Amino acid sequence: MILYHASKMIVEFPEVRKTKYTKDFSWGFYCTNNKEQAIRWANRGDGTPVVNSYIYTPKDSLSVLRFEQMSDEWLDFIAKCRNGETHHYDIVEGPMANDTVWNYVNDFLAGTINRKQFWVLAEFRYPTHQISFHTLAAIDCLKYNGSEVIYDK
């Protein structure tokens, strides 16, 4: 399977980095199987938009958590990760909602809307894909396949 990583630079050797803010599935190296999504993300902000590609070969020995769709479990997992909690998974894969749904997630985390209100607002929003790699063993599943500078149309 080919995965894409949006960046402002060529990333031949992926890394798991701890940053100031945690992401949806905690700290990790994030990719997607959706090239158009990677292009949009690479074009955010200043700098040259680079889409890196990798051949992903899963390993049965790794601990993987998959969310097939947005669900209460998915929302709770994101809430914990966004609040700084970590997890023991090597790889986490699941939906990445658009900016509108992320606003709803933030409202849910802030307590300005409840779970039921979140699902009413998110009902007709269609998420895209993200897969995050959290350990060196997980990163070893990725083989660099090249990089392209791609400007969004």
Integer CA distances (angstroms), 153 to 45, 130, 149, 150, in order: 15, 22, 13, 9
- Number of domains observed in the structure of the chain: 1
| Digit-coded pLDDT (tens) for 93-109 | 999 866 777 788 889 98
Is this structure's pTM higher than 0.85? yes
* Whether the predicted pLDDT of 124 surpasses 80: no
CA–CA separation, 91 vs 78, rounded Å? 14
Domain residue limits at 139: 2-149
CA–CA separation, 30 vs 3, rounded Å? 10
